[in-house]
A and B are shown apart, each in its own frame.
Chain A
């Protein structure tokens, strides 16, 4: 117990103390289900904390061993968890099959891989640590569905309403269900082995008793679709899996969709990879050398220090190094404050990623403010940034022993930065067209003016916009910004 106290103390020292206190109180007094696969965004909303702080605190808590971080591959259709891994490394297949929905899913990191946090069993033992002991309703809630499924509180009633019958089968056990099949699509589902058989019940009702059999093994399996007339049937089940199974007959109707398809926001793998705390604490070992994941959309921000070569020439390597380092820490703070992460520094340049474009734009504005502050303190104009932003699809990879990103989107972002000068932040069309960015620009009094430029080597024309003060004064955004962040 004393040891656990130490962990909590460490947590509040290294992360947000208010979030740490909330987490501790949930661990000490919360229900079991509140500690299983915590959705950080929901936790933040419930406890009125900032999302970024909750994410960073949970990352710290995971690093300390208070929670276990898990990466779950989701089905895009049902929101079910198709694979769970303690590291992205274990998610090594190109596609994951959902037997419930009979579809393949490519695990794109910003859509189909979620990150959740479960209390470590040494800190507190909860029912979900022994999934074999969970009844169907709790199994569905705590193990089958991901943290993005917004399930009704009374899950048992909801499931009862859409299932015809359910059984609990120990390994090796056989059983049969006798019932009258109503018209409609019935899904025979075992959520433990992810096995399904679709029964398409239609046509003239019959009195004849039909026999249907299904064997469960350890592999996700979709046994196809059987067409049957409505009427009596006997469903024989055999569990050849190493785990207990919970087969049930699900009526795939309106009620099931209404009860089980409500979604809520969750922490995506992309967002975690773009979190500075995560990058700092889990620097190596996120991906295997040969792994590469598709990301549907990620925002890239590149900065470069204007005229740094002339600066080194003038003030010498040592003084330039100290100045460049101060500038890096200021940029890191701006990135961190907006939930982004610095992927790497390249000479005087910085490459950072953000889960959304508005946060990237906000970070870019903060960066300019931070440079003005350092310049003000030094009484000169040595630091000025060329900033470029772009968003789009890319690959998450391991390059040069760090988690990096690769693809034309990254190239374009770097090229856009190359066109920039300190008078304006340069962004591409997908960035300015985001509604959140439009709102942010209006608040900050910034105009987006299209600039005619084609990027070398890029066949599709890329529209580039200059973000500058609507007042024509390059510092006009400053006071408004200060108010915005006051």
Chain B
């Protein structure tokens, strides 16, 4: 216990103390399920904390071992978790199959990989640490579905509406379910092994008892679809999996669609990887050397110090180095404040990523302010930034032993920065047109003007560039 106290003290020192206090009180007095797969954004909203402070505190808490961070591949159809790993490197399939939705999906990091935090079993043991002991309702809530599905408090009542019948089968056990089916679409579904059989009940009712066998094994399996006439049916189940299974007959009706349709925002892998604290604390080891993930949308910001070569010439390497380091420090702080992360520095240049364009625009404006401050303190105008922003799809990869990003979006962002001068921040059309950006710019009294069409070398598509000043 004394050891855990030390960890909480450390957390309060290294992260936001208010968030740390909320987390501690939750761990000490909260319900078990509120400590399983914590959705950082929902937690922030519920406890009135900022999202960034919450995410950062949870990263620190994981690094300290109070929580376990997990990366879950989600099905875009049902929001179910198709794979869960302690590190992104365990997510090594090209695509993941959801048997409930009968579809295969590529795990894009900004849409289909979520990051959740579960209390470490040494910190507090909760029911979800032994998933085999969870009831069907709690199993689907705590294990099957991801943190982006907004489930009602009373999940037991919901499950009664959702299922005709359900049963628990130990490994090796057999069972049967006899019932009379009316016209409907039934999904025979075991959430543990992700096994499904679709049954469409339609046509002329019959009195004949039909037999439908289904075997559960350790693999996600979609047993296809059967069409049956309404009337008596006997489902025979056999559990050949190594775990207990929870087969049930789910009604694919409005209730189910309502449940699956209610979503809430969750912490995406992309957003976590664009968090400075995450990059600092989990610097290496996020991806394997040969892994690459698609990201549908990432905002990339490049800066470069104007006239640095002339500056080194004038003040010498040593003084220039100290100045450049001061400038890096200021930029890093600005990026972290806006929930972004510096991917790398290149000479005097910085490459940073942000989960959304509005944060990147705010960071760009903050950077210009920070340079003005440094210049004022030094009584000169040595530091001026050329800043360029672009947003689009890219690949998350490991390059040169660090987690990096690759693709035309990165190239274009760098090219746009190359066109910039310190008089304006340059941003492409997708950035300028993104949610909240117009408001941020008008609040800041900034004007946006399209730049004389300038083709970017090597880029076939015309890229519209705007000047923000």
Contacts and interface: CB of A to CB of B under 8 A. Distances in A.
B411 A308 contact: yes
B395 A317 contact: yes
Contacts of A283: 401
B321 interface: yes
Given A345-B400, A395-B317, A410-B347, A313 B309 contact: no
Query: Which residue, B321, B328, B346, B456, has most C-beta atoms of chain A within 10 A?
Result: B346
A399 B332 CA distance: 13
Contacts of B457: 309
Contacts of B127: none
Contacts of B313: 408, 457-460
Nearest to B410: A347
A307 B401 CA distance: 25
A406 interface: yes
Contacts of B325: 399
B415 to A, nearest CB: 7
Contacts of B395: 317-318, 321
Contacts of B411: 308-309, 312, 347
Interface string A305-324: 00111111100011011001
A40 to B, nearest CB: 25
Interface string B396-423: 0101110000111011101100000000
B103 interface: no
Contacts of B397: 321
Contact of B456 (A292, A309, A345): A309
A347 B312 contact: no
B347 A414 contact: yes
B7 interface: no
A345 B292 contact: no
Contact of A408 (B312, B400, B406, B459): B312
B344 A400 contact: yes
B458 A307 contact: yes
Interface in B289-333: 292, 307-314, 317-318, 320-321, 324-325, 328
A98 interface: no
B345 interface: yes
Nearest to A280: B401
Interface residues of B, number: 43
How would you classify the secondary structure of chain A's contact residues: helix, strand, loop or mixed? Answer: mixed
A406 B321 contact: yes
B55 to A, nearest CB: 21
Interface in A73-87: none
Contacts of A310: 458-460
A435 interface: no
A347 B343 CA distance: 12
Interface in A148-171: none
A414 B312 CA distance: 14
Contacts of B347: 410-411, 414
Contacts, number: 106
Contacts of A408: 309, 312-313, 317, 320
Contact of B408 (A309, A325, A414, A415): A309
A457 B459 contact: no
A400 B460 CA distance: 34
Contacts of A415: 309
Given A312-B408, A317-B394, A317-B408, A406 B458 contact: no
Contacts of B209: none
A458 B310 CA distance: 6
A456 interface: yes
B283 interface: yes
Interface in A410-441: 410-412, 414-415
Contact of B309 (A309, A317, A455): A455
Interface string A227-255: 00000000000000000000000000000
A407 B313 CA distance: 9
A189 to B, nearest CB: 35
A407 B312 contact: yes
Contact of A347 (B342, B414, B458): B414
A112 interface: no
Nearest to B408: A312
A455 B312 CA distance: 13
Nearest to B348: A411
A397 B328 CA distance: 14
A318 to B, nearest CB: 7
Contacts of A347: 410-411, 414
Interface string A133-147: 000000000000000
Contact of B317 (A309, A313, A324, A406): A406
Contacts of A480: none
Nearest to B307: A457
Nearest to B412: A309
B309 A395 contact: no
A106 B337 CA distance: 40
B408 A345 contact: no
Interface residues on A, range: 35 or more
B310 A457 contact: yes
B322 to A, nearest CB: 9
A394 interface: yes
Nearest to B400: A345
A313 B414 contact: no
Nearest to A279: B401
B41 to A, nearest CB: 29
A2 interface: no
B406 A321 contact: yes
A219 interface: no
A318 B317 CA distance: 39
Query: Which residue, A321, A324, A415, has most C-beta atoms of chain B within 10 A?
Result: A321
A401 B458 contact: no
A346 interface: yes
Contacts of A311: 458
A457 B309 contact: yes
A199 to B, nearest CB: 40
Contacts of B456: 309
B345 A399 contact: yes
Given A310-B458, A347-B411, A400 B317 contact: no
A468 B459 CA distance: 30
Contacts of B324: 406
Interface in A361-412: 393-395, 397, 399-401, 406-408, 410-412
A451 interface: no
B407 A317 contact: yes
Nearest to B345: A400
A344 interface: yes
A457 B346 contact: no
B459 A395 contact: no
Contacts of A457: 307-311, 313
A313 B321 contact: no
A412 B309 CA distance: 8
A469 B410 CA distance: 36
Contact of A318 (B292, B345, B401): B292
Contacts of B406: 317, 320-321, 324
B308 A309 contact: no
Nearest to A311: B458
Contact of B321 (A309, A345, A346, A407): A407
Given A309-B408, A410-B347, A411-B308, 14 more contacts: A308-B411, A312-B411, A320-B407, A321-B407, A325-B399, A328-B399, A344-B400, A346-B346, A347-B410, A347-B414, A395-B321, A408-B312, A411-B309, A458-B310
Interface of A: 283, 292, 307-313, 317-318, 320-321, 324-325, 328, 342, 344-347, 393-395, 397, 399-401, 406-408, 410-412, 414-415, 455-460
11 contacts: A292-B318, A308-B411, A309-B408, A310-B458, A317-B395, A318-B292, A321-B397, A399-B345, A408-B309, A415-B309, A457-B310
9 closest pairs, A vs B, by CB?
A309-B458, A457-B309, A317-B407, A407-B317, A310-B458, A457-B310, A312-B408, A408-B312, A345-B400
Interface of B: 283, 292, 307-314, 317-318, 320-321, 324-325, 328, 342, 344-347, 393-395, 397, 399-401, 406-408, 410-412, 414-415, 456-461
